[in-house]
């Protein structure tokens, strides 16, 4: 399920766990496992796409980020992942 946040510049970011859009079978754990960061038990790849001209941000977030990470913390993660 996508999550949207808006930064101080008015850019709306839509964030989804990587591989969330893959064809799903009766067992969805494959997509969940595909997004898992190798060597990290509870970290997952998340892609955040901007509404404007900014570049997509690729994040590594803890499991449960969709509900457990507040908007401010998610925006800080996006900002730190953006190039220079």
Task: Quote the DSSP letter at residue 17.
Answer: E
Dmax of the chain from CA atoms? 42
User: CA triplet 3, 42, 15: central angle to 5 degrees?
Assistant: 15
pLDDT recorded at residue 68: 94
**Which residue's structure tokens are 């997952």?**
44
The answer to pTM > 0.85 is: no
Chain Cα centroid distance, residue 49: 9
pLDDT recorded at residue 56: 93
pLDDT recorded at residue 84: 65
Mean pLDDT by 10 residues, the chain (84 residues): 93 88 48 66 91 88 94 96 78
pLDDT recorded at residue 27: 47
Q: How many CB atoms lie within 10 A of CB 46?
A: 24
- What gap in Å lies between CA 13 and CA 77, rounded to an integer? 12
pLDDT recorded at residue 18: 87
What SS3 class is residue 29?
helix
């Amino acid at each position: 399920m996508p999550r949207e946040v808006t930064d101080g510049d008015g850019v709306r970011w839509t964030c989804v766990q990587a591989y969330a859009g893959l064809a799903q079978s009766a067992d969805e754990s494959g997509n969940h496992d595909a997004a898992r960061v190798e060597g990290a038990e509870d970290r997952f790849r998340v892609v955040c796409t901007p509404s404007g001209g900014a570049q997509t941000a690729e994040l590594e977030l803890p499991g449960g980020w969709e509900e457990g990470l507040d908007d401010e913390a998610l925006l800080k993660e996006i900002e730190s992942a953006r190039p220079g």
